[in-house]
Structure 1
């Protein structure tokens, strides 16, 4: 019996527009927000230390620059501590202009107290209360007395989509560990995001590291039984529906961008940007109606 039947479905379980990276990129370059007085919609990226948050942000930038970029610093040492310490916004450039969506990076979530970002800081960031380049303090969350606290956030400062970055090759360890502090933090943040009516998406990185089929041929990402199982595990441990979980491969060892990697990133980003734009429209209408 052919071994392939055990590892691969006969046809893809999610349709993917392979070869259409130019059209996907063009749609996002020409994207217009429904709320004309807002310059850009904010997308907040969170995840465990080492999950690949900064690599994903760099990969999004690389797709639009058509070259590998490393604006968000990535920790390549064996140090398990979080590398990102500041609340920092990354603007996606299209030539000289800036696209109408931004990605904000945060300090990583960690299982030990006093090391990673405080879960309440993530909530404050979603509400728009944290100023650009605020340095996170793992020991205590931001307070109105801090210099980096914004007490009157505008629509522009708030988050309109929350993106969790989870590495595919480590997700099984997480699902089967009821004591995982990071998953407890994610569930807390998720409940707060629900209260704030912020849509949520999971970017499942390192799909190529989790499945040999995909490592060999990235187009097998949606025929791989292993990747489908990983998506279901991501959904199970975050409570986010499978339809909002996107497996990708970020750029990390490549020296040039590649069409198939771009397609997966652009497809996920398109979904995120549309969700964020819808959430901004609702918030903007509510704000106008309450004036």
Structure 2
């Protein structure tokens, strides 16, 4: 259900991003450490929160056209540079969603192993049986490249109230990342599906009282433990067949912060 709310006279976040500046920043990024060829971003969140769609949106933006959708499994999603056989030094891992039932969805303990680099490419997470050292999908000696450099929690602005058990799983995962020193941030997706003002004009996102409440709501920011200045509203590409500047601007702003947070972590370890 789309909500119409009174618009704020002053935006709650300022300024609006600069697509060209952020795009150049992202495209020119290279890790400084010789043992790290790419910055690894792990996306986690409830089923249907838009993790795979975000990867698709980033690919659309960096390649300047619509691209083939990513599949939701523990695979390393690389983005090929436009008119090139090389890839950007950013990779994404998108894993099956967190669910309320403890016997379905990915297990938080397996996500913790993924953050440490112990999950091999193509591993199929088993909600009933956790990954163990005896499993063929276990990577016993992860390299610096295998480890996660940024954890991004993904939630949908259009979802009903998030279940307490799912929030607890996300909080556990965030705390595990904190213990490993891994930076965390969050994205609120589907903002156009949740807010009427934003559906009409995406630039109203920072004037929406509804979305501000969503971002700062106690059952997300406080429960999961991510401050408001590390939470980014985005609109993923869904029905569009051409790129749109305002969609790109929000996504690139979030992506630039992922790079900054991850690069700081890489250079500290």
Provide the TM-score with structure 2 as the length reference: 0.93
Instruction: Report whether the alignment pairs 1:205 with 2:167.
Output: no
Q: How does 1:49-88 map to 2 (within 5 A)?
A: 49-73=47-71, 84=72, 86-88=73-75
Cα separation, 2, equivalents of 1:91 and 1:100: 8
Contact in 1 for aligned 2:168/2:224 (Cα 8 Å): no
CA root-mean-square deviation: 1.5
SS in 2 for 1:204: strand
SS in 1 for 2:154: strand
2:39 is matched with which residue: 38, 41, 55? 41
Q: Which moved more, 1:258-267 or 1:135-144?
A: 135-144
Cα separation, 1, equivalents of 2:89 and 2:211: 32
Contact in 1 for aligned 2:108/2:173 (Cα 8 Å): yes
How much does 1:135 deviate? 1.0
More relative contact order in 1 or in 2 (CA 8 Å, sep 6+)? 2
SS in 1 for 2:159: helix
Q: Which moved more, 1:247-256 or 1:111-120?
A: 111-120
Which residue of structure 1 aligns with residue 250 of structure 2? 264
Cα separation, 1, equivalents of 2:68 and 2:199: 23
Which residue of structure 2 aligns with residue 76 of structure 1? none
Which residue of structure 2 aligns with residue 81 of structure 1? none
1:137 is matched with which residue: 110, 126, 143? 126
Contact in 1 for aligned 2:97/2:105 (Cα 8 Å): yes
1:275 is matched with which residue: 254, 261, 268? 261
Structure 2 regions of 5+ residues with no counterpart?
A: none
Provide the TM-score with structure 1 as the length reference: 0.86
Structure 1 regions of 5+ residues with no counterpart?
A: 74-83, 284-291
Cα separation, 2, equivalents of 1:42 and 1:188: 20
SS in 1 for 2:252: helix
Which residue of structure 1 aligns with residue 78 of structure 2? 91
Which residue of structure 2 aligns with residue 243 of structure 1? 229
SS in 1 for 2:36: coil
SS in 2 for 1:169: coil
Q: Deviations over 1:26-62 (max 9, x none)?
A: 1111112131331101110111011111111111111
How much does 1:17 deviate? 3.8
Which residue of structure 2 aligns with residue 148 of structure 1? 137
Which residue of structure 1 aligns with residue 11 of structure 2? 12
Whose Rg is larger? 1
User: 4+ residue runs of structure 1 moved beyond 2 angstroms?
Assistant: none
- Work out the number of aligned pairs and report it: 262
Q: Deviations over 1:76-102 (max 9, x none)?
A: xxxxxxxx3x31111122222211111
How much does 1:12 deviate? 1.7
Which residue of structure 2 aligns with residue 196 of structure 1? 180
